[in-house]
Structure 1
Amino acid sequence: MIAIAPASGHDVAPIDALLRSSFARAEEADLVRDLCIAGDMVLMLAAHDEGTGTLAGTVAFSRMDVAVAGKPIPAVALAPVAVAPDYRGGNVAEALIHAGIERLEQEGVVLCFVLGEPAFYARFGFDADFARNFTSPYAGDYLMALPLQGGLMPCGVREHAHHAPAFARLSQP
């Protein structure tokens, strides 16, 4: 059985190790560290195997600067999500993402953005159409958004959707 809860201080080293082993480069682990240091981490969840206490997966949501019709909109970016090899295929990523979205909706977040594979994220309701026309360096088919708060997209001109500054360091040598 998998239990999902906000990450704690005891999870820092296992999350860092999971991120470093799950991705080809250390960028995602560095991103999480930098988001935490900058105070831009909004929610980090950890999934643990209740039988062994092993970290099965993690997901992070960070602060974004988003505006629609001249008004700031409470928004977050989902990234990264990682699942330990022994738990892949067991819906751990899905459970983490659903738990995060539910909690963020309860906390009044209006939009959740993700930069990722449309075929994977569409199952949660993410759609590139919701992210279109926002000014973003990541604009395109892989930038998707999910309206929370009943699924309604805020009305008005979509202005900007800026990720936390730590994202600008991704893919740089």
Structure 2
Amino acid sequence: MIDLHIRSEQPGDAAAIAALLHAAFAGNPHSNHTEHLIVERLRASGHLAVSLAALLPEGRLIGHVAFSKVAIDGRDEGWYGLGPLAVLPQVQGQGVGTALVEAGLSVLRRKGARGCVVLGEPGYYGRFGFAQDAGLRYPGPPPEYFLALAFDSPAPQGVVAYDSAFAEPEALP
């Protein structure tokens, strides 16, 4: 694990976070390369519930994680979605992403969240307690990549919808 500091996003971080998202997802075949737009739209709408930055001791931003509310069957059940999570390629595999996810989940618990979902690699997110929940569904991707983590009670049942910021740019009004 490298020496880093995790803090909430600051007003002057937006450009560095956008650059980080570009760099982190540049070679990802599962990305449509709009992660920076998702975070910008969440921020602009006031729906970026938790936004954490990981910095090296000298202040260089090397990682970021975002959390936003999700609806379950159209209702606010106190659940959040994790994503995007980004770490600069040259420091991936050194615990930055793990530290960001753990810090973000801790913030959600302090906020009184009831749970969190993520669309991601089961082998990675399983270490935080995320697992498939047959009662929570997200149409589209293979179900084994849609994972849930209930904090204090069983997960509600239904179809999960992310914030409209996650829609493809051309699909937005």
Length-normalised TM-score, structure 1: 0.85
Match of 1:141 among 140, 144, 150: 144
Q: What per-residue deviation string (whole Å, max 9, x for no partner) do you get for residues 50-99 of structure 1?
A: 1x2111200000111125xx974101110111111332221000000000
Secondary structure of 2:167 counterpart: helix
Distance in 2, Cα, partners of 1:89 & 1:136: 28
Aligned Cα root-mean-square deviation (Å): 2.1
Kindly tell me the number of residue pairs found equivalent between the two proteins: 163
Distance in 2, Cα, partners of 1:65 & 1:146: 15
**Residue correspondence of structure 1 range 1-173 to structure 2 within 5 A:** 1-24=3-26, 25-50=32-57, 52-66=58-72, 72-129=76-133, 132-138=134-140, 140-149=143-152, 152-154=153-155, 158-169=157-168
Q: What is the identity, as a one-letter code, of the residue corresponding to 1:37?
A: A
Q: What per-residue deviation string (whole Å, max 9, x for no partner) do you get for residues 124-143 of structure 1?
A: 100012xx233432461111
Contact 1:115 1:138 in 2 (8 A): no
Contact 2:23 2:89 in 1 (8 A): no
Q: Which runs of 4+ in 1 moved over 4 A?
A: none
Length-normalised TM-score, structure 2: 0.85
Q: Tell me, which stretches of 5 or more residues in structure 1 are unaligned? A: none
Secondary structure of 2:107 counterpart: helix
Distance in 2, Cα, partners of 1:26 & 1:71: 29
